[in-house]
Structure 1
Amino acid sequence: MRFDNRSDAIVVGIADYAVTDRPRLLKTSGLGSCIGVAIYDETAGVSGLLHFMLPDSSETSGNYADAKFADTGIPSLLEAFTAAGGVPDRSWAKIAGGASMVEFDAADRSIGDRNLEAARRELAARSIAILETDVGGDFGRSLEFDGETGTLTVNSADRSKRLL
């Protein structure tokens, strides 16, 4: 995590997350098959953003940051979110990413598809509703999550801009 001096935004890197209890902007870029998970507790004013790369930590050997995977990144995000005063039971999420950046055989599911499935599974297991999504396709995305309004701005490499 680092700060963007131009806007006082918190920049979330790949395989990283950040949580804030202030009305700050959380930003990440480079989402291809990766997923961005934005979570928001409107009552407490706590927001968080995770940028994970892969669905399952058990499929990889080595020592990696929890935020690299859905199955370890989402619990780590929620732990920090709770420590900042957020309550997952009254919070909601928005997700973006999960593109198919490389062609696969018809029998193979893309990493983007598997990441999307993992995000949905991890959030559902914690009873966190996904309010909106911008997923799939074959193009990258960058995200800005507004910690004051809960708006997720998705800027796509196909030159579109969506507000979720």
Structure 2
Amino acid sequence: MPKGAVGGGTCKRGDSVVDSEYECIPVGVAEYAVTGETRPLKTSGVGSCVAVALHDPDHEVSGLLHFMLPESDSRTRPEPDAKFADTGLEAMLDEFEREGGVPDRSWAKLVGGATMIEFSGAGGSIGDQNVAAAKALLEAYGIPVRAVEVGGSAGRSITFDPSSGDVVIRTAGGTIVRK
């Protein structure tokens, strides 16, 4: 069950990367989940946030992180927090390894990083900063990014199917993209 998650979710035909109805593993905002199962992982409300789908095909371990901000203030946060790219990815990778996943034999897909509110500060929008943080952290961990669907101005929902490695992205406007 995702860290901090309550309840379950359902992936229905047309919404999922699978052809029938499955019980999804829900991942909320500022949460992550790691699984050795083939059930899809699903998150929604990905605007300026970024979702990181992580997969080790050799060991059949997958994870999904939905973080909000690029960097924590580690001096005031002694425990990992999935709200942030740095501590969220670290926490997910720790659990990923406990489940048998090997980060340097894995790949990632990134979704999100939209510009929800026009902002012209140093470093760009929060979405831009989130995408840059995710890419830099994954590179530091030696995890290649296999696909990205980032930017724009629309929120997204994501369903990640560990059995195929596919990520299906549904935008707030109804567009469906498969990566």
Report the TM range for the smaller structure's normalisation: over 0.9
The CA RMSD over aligned residues, in Å, is 1.9
Partner residue in 2 for 1:9? 24
TM-score if structure 2 supplies the norm length? 0.86
Residue 37 (str. 1) matches residue 52 (str. 2): yes
Letter in 1 for 2:149: D
Which segments of structure 1 move beyond 2 Å, counting only runs of 4 or more? Answer: 59-65, 105-108
Structure 1 residues 77 and 106, CA gap change in structure 2 (3 angstroms): closer
Partner residue in 1 for 2:138? 123
**Does the CA contact (< 8 Å) of 1:15 and 1:65 recur in 2?**
no
Higher helix share: 1
Question: What is the rounded CA distance, in whole Å, between the counterparts of 1:37 and 1:19 in structure 2?
Answer: 12
Structure 2 unaligned blocks of 5 or more: 11-20
**Does the CA contact (< 8 Å) of 1:139 and 1:157 recur in 2?**
yes
Q: Deviations over 1:59-108 (max 9, x none)?
A: 99678861000010111111111111111111000010000000113756
Question: What is the rounded CA distance, in whole Å, between the counterparts of 1:59 and 1:88 in structure 2?
Answer: 23
Structure 1 residues 66 and 109, CA gap change in structure 2 (3 angstroms): same
2:86 to 46, 49, 71: 71
Question: What is the rounded CA distance, in whole Å, between the counterparts of 1:83 and 1:62 in structure 2?
Answer: 23
C-alpha displacement of 1:18: 0.2
Number of residue-to-residue matches in the alignment? 164
Question: What is the rounded CA distance, in whole Å, between the counterparts of 2:133 and 2:75 in structure 1?
Answer: 15
Partner residue in 2 for 1:146? 161
Letter in 2 for 1:24: R
Question: What is the rounded CA distance, in whole Å, between the counterparts of 1:54 and 1:66 in structure 2?
Answer: 11
**Does the CA contact (< 8 Å) of 1:4 and 1:10 recur in 2?**
yes
Partner residue in 2 for 1:93? 108
C-alpha displacement of 1:20: 0.5
